[in-house]
Amino acid sequence: MIPPMDAAEAPVVLAAHGISKSFGANTVLTDMELTVRKGETVCLLGPSGSGKSTFLRCLNWLEEPDAGSVLLKGQRIGVRASGNIVMSDGELAAIRTRIGMVFQHFALWPHLTVLQNVMEAPIHVQRRDKAEVRREAEALLERVGIADKAGQYPARLSGGQKQRVGIARALAMKPDLLLFDEPTSALDPELVGEVLAVMKDLAREGMTMVVVTHEMAFARDVASRVVFLDRGRIVESGSPEEFFTRPKTDRAKQFLLRYSAQ
């Protein structure tokens, strides 16, 4: 489970400092800090409504934070290096190509086949060679175990298959970082395993990932670090070993109790 490189020395891929966000009077995130090093799998845990999705969406600026900064390999996201000018749609788009995202409800493009979904962004956003992208896309579908569905439209797939397409689509961009927002929450219980297995492989192969999840077993077995948030603040952060066996705060204890009771 532990990445080949010593995690403490691996280069920092993502650094988020002092992220705060409110929707009107509702303060959702307060002064969030997160550093992710190359090869790490960071699991974000927390009760419903604690701000996990919002935080994840701030990392690639799908949501614009009210305060704080996000750096991808040292490059500021959302705000131009010179001064405090917010990036244009095009500039943001260019940076987002380096961050893959996997969605709870898949968010595949239904008018494109599975293969086309995977090839879409590499060809039209990254403008890479079509034949090469195709070869890679086919290899990715093979890797997530759905090569036989390449020519089908998403509507014909099971939830587990859709999510594996979602993962292949994100990998096709060759991103520096992958974000997952509850990738298995919309799945029937018997389909959860096939998606988690793919994610586990990615973690083992050294992909850098931030995963919002309610799958405690996954967090315990796969995460290199667990971050627990509650009401928009980081309450605990540490190794899964530590968090699951010796939670320090009452809130974390209550949270874990609810999951072990299920």
Partner 1 sequence: MTWYDVYAIFQGAVFTVAISLASIVIGLPLGLGFALIRWSRIPVLDRIVVVYVSVIRASPAVTLALLIFFALPVVGISMGAVTAAIVTLTLSTATFNTEIWRGALMSFPSDQLESARAFGMPRALRFRRIVFPQILHSALPALVNEMTLQVKSSPAIAVLGLVDITRAASRVGARTYDPLPPFVVALVLYSLIVAVFVMSQRFIERRRAAELEAAR
Ligand X SMILES: Nc1ncnc2c1ncn2[C@@H]1O[C@H](COP(=O)(O)OP(=O)(O)OP(=O)(O)O)[C@@H](O)[C@H]1O
Q: Is 50 in the site for ligand X (CB under 6 A)?
A: yes
CB atoms within 10 A of CB 204: 15
State which residue, 37 or 149, has the beta carbon closest to partner 1. Answer: 149
Answer with the entry of Mg ion, partner 1, ligand X, none that 30 interacts with (C-beta below 5 to 8 A by kind).
none
220's CB contacts (< 8 A; 6+ apart) are: 240, 244
* Torsion 246-248-254-259 (CA) sign: negative
Alpha-carbon distances, residue 1 vs 150, 176, 231, 251 (angstroms)? 31, 19, 30, 27
Residue 53 makes contact with Mg ion by CB under 5 A: yes
Q: Given the complex with ligand X, which of 47 and 238 has the nearer CB atom?
A: 47
Indicate whether 49 belongs to the interface with ligand X (CB under 6 A).
yes
Residue 18, CB-side half-sphere exposure with 13 Å CA sphere = 4
Please report whether residue 46 would count as binding ligand X according to CB under 6 A: yes
Span near partner 1 by CB under 8 A; candidates 1-9, 26-34, 131-139, 148-156: 148-156
Among residues 153, 158, 193, 238, the one that binds partner 1 under rule CB under 8 A:
153
Does position 54 bind ligand X by CB under 6 A?
Answer: yes
Cβ neighbours around 227 below 10 Å, total: 25
74: left (phi over 0), alpha (psi -120 to 50) or beta: left
99 interacts with partner 1 by CB under 8 A: yes
3-state class (DSSP) for residue 219 = helix
41 forms part of the interface with Mg ion (CB under 5 A): no
- What's at 245, amino acid-wise? T
**Residue indicated by tokens 């995690």:** 7
Contact range with partner 1 by CB under 8 A, out of 17-25, 108-116, 185-193, 221-229: 108-116
Report, in Å, the least distance between residue 131 CB and partner 1.
Answer: 20
Q: What does 101 bind: Mg ion, partner 1, ligand X, none (CB cut-off 5 to 8 Å by kind)?
A: partner 1
* Least distance in angstroms from the C-beta of 147 to ligand X: 32
Q: Which residues of 154-182 are buried (b: 16+ CB within 10 A; e: fewer)?
A: beebebbbbbbbbbbbbbbbebbbbbbbb
Does residue 51 bind ligand X (CB under 6 A)? yes
Q: Where are the beta strands (DSSP E) in 93-176?
A: 99-102
Q: For residue 50, state whether it binds partner 1 (rule: CB under 8 A).
A: no
Residue 23 binds what, of ligand X, partner 1, Mg ion, none (CB under 5 to 8 Å, by partner type)?
ligand X
Q: How far is the CB of 55 from ligand X (least distance, A)?
A: 7
In Å, how far are 41, 68, 151, 162, 243 from 141, measured between CA atoms?
22, 37, 11, 11, 35
Residues 7-26, interacting with ligand X (CB under 6 A): 23, 26
Q: What 3-state DSSP class applies to 69?
A: strand
Between 169 and 225, CB nearer to partner 1: 169
Mark the segment that binds Mg ion (CB under 5 A) among 52-60, 145-153, 154-162, 248-256: 52-60
The footprint of Mg ion (CB under 5 A) covers: 53
